[in-house]
Each structure stands twice: as structure tokens, then as C-alpha cells.
Structure 1
Amino acid sequence: MTTHDPIPARLAALRTTPTPELKQQWRELFDSEPPPFNRRFLESRLAYRIQELVYGGLKPETIRRLERLGEELDGGDRKKSRIRADLKPIVGTRLIREWQGVEQLVTVTQDGFEWQGRPYQSLSAIARAITGTRWNGWVFFGLKNHRRTA
């Protein structure tokens, strides 16, 4: 006699479960309040957690390897490791902005940005150097809308 695995059906049901019920499942499975992220995030994390509890999580050697790889990327800097990787453009990306008829070129570096051969920690500092006034660098280089969308 074969045993029916209820987990695939439970995972598939997440897609049609109302959001308040997903949040309740989060509370039960993680013993914490759900984060304020979108529904797809909740679904994917709940799916992982359900499988983790039933089938087991990552092996200790896998966790150690991931931690080592992470330290190679951020040098063990805990502040850096909490920064979302997608907040900054990929290293090597060139940002171009014309200002008063002059093309300004910024290159994204591992540690920040480079403009006119000089390193900068932020795009705002570069925008201020270019314009002489305070700017949100992300807005100045067209990476972010100046108005937040709801």
C-alpha cells in the first residue's frame, strides 16, 4: 500500500489561500508576526517552512558552506549582510546623466561608486558635487521615482 504525501497538495493550496489565512499560518509556523512583504513572499516562505518542518532543513555542512560564501562576499560585516543585494545596481554598471549639457558618467564599484576617477560612498554625494545642491542621488540618476508609489 502506498502512502499519500499531503505536502504537495498543501503547498498548491497556498496560492488560493486568502492573505489573512496565510498570515495566520505564518504565526503558527514561525511563531512570529508575518513581515510586511507581498503575498508571493509569504507563499514562498511558507512553502519552504512547511517542507522544512516535514522533510528537514538544510544539513549543517550546507549551512556552514553558505555562511562561508556569505563572509567572502561581505567580509563578515553584519551590517553589509543585512543590505538587500538588489538595492544597489550590479558592480560595473555605468550610470549616465546629462546635467547642464554635460554628460556625467558614474560607475558602480564594489564599495560604492566612482565619478571622475574618485570613489564615493553614495550617489547623493555625487549628485551634490555635480549640481552644488542637495539631491537624492537615486532620483538624480533616474533609479528611483521622486514620489513613492502606494
Structure 2
Amino acid sequence: MRAKLDIQAEVVALGYLSREELAAQWERIYRCAPPKGVRRELLIRAAAWHLQAKRLGGFSTETRRMLRSAIDRVERKFADRDGQPNVVADEIKVTIARKRKQVLPGARLVRDWNGKTHIVDVIEDGFVFEAKVFPSLSSIARKITGGHWSGPRFFGL
């Protein structure tokens, strides 16, 4: 009971620390500066969580198991969705971005837009559309749609 009261008192005391003191605590705990512009309230909560986890033992084994299971489900979902595996980098989960398909000179891109078929030929120096050379697919997509589009996305690459 006494230990619980001590922890509560220490958590309350965190509210009286300045932002600079809280930022110093963050650096000591996480070994990096707090994110730029982070609010004082978040610094207090992070310090309070760390204090409680240190004194009370952090997450239970069951909670850690549930978190690991949830992370695995999300990773499988994303791997199934884009066909790419996930990798671990410095214990941070990241998804590998899909590589954009390369179009080689001589290829022909066909896109239907608002009932009209648009044909683009790929050449060494760019793209030919309506007998004019364009430097990018995005400029062609803009001409066709009248708005900003990612050219590769517009043409399904």
C-alpha cells in the first residue's frame, strides 16, 4: 500500500516540473530528444508511464503476448494486401514500398478516360501523346483530366 502511495505522489510531482525538466527526463529515459513541438502533457504522461512501469513491472506477460499477436495480424494483413514482406529495422516495423514498373521505349500505354481512349507511346526522351512530346506521364495525365494526377498511377503503373 505504501509503495502505491509513493508512486502516486511521484506522478503528481511530475505535474510541477518545468517543460525543460520533463524534456531532460525524456532524454534520460528514451536516449533521444523529445519530438519537436511535443506538448508538456505528453511529456508528463510518458514520464508517469515509465515511472509506473519501472516500479510495477510494465506490461504483463499476457499483455505482451496479446500485443505481439496483434502486431503479427497487422503485418500479415499488409503483406497479403501488397504482396510484399515486412521487415524489421531497429525494432521498428516498416512495410517495403512496391517498386514502380519501368516502361521501356517502344511501349504503348492505353487509358480510357470519360469514354475516350488515350494512347501514349514511350520514347527515349519522354512520351508522345497527340503528336507532341511530353517530359512526364504526369503532364499527360494533367492534359487529359484537367487536374493534378500522378502520371504513373493514372496509367496504372
What is the TM-score normalised by the length of structure 1? Answer: 0.47
The structure that has the greater radius of gyration is 2
Structure with bigger strand share is 2
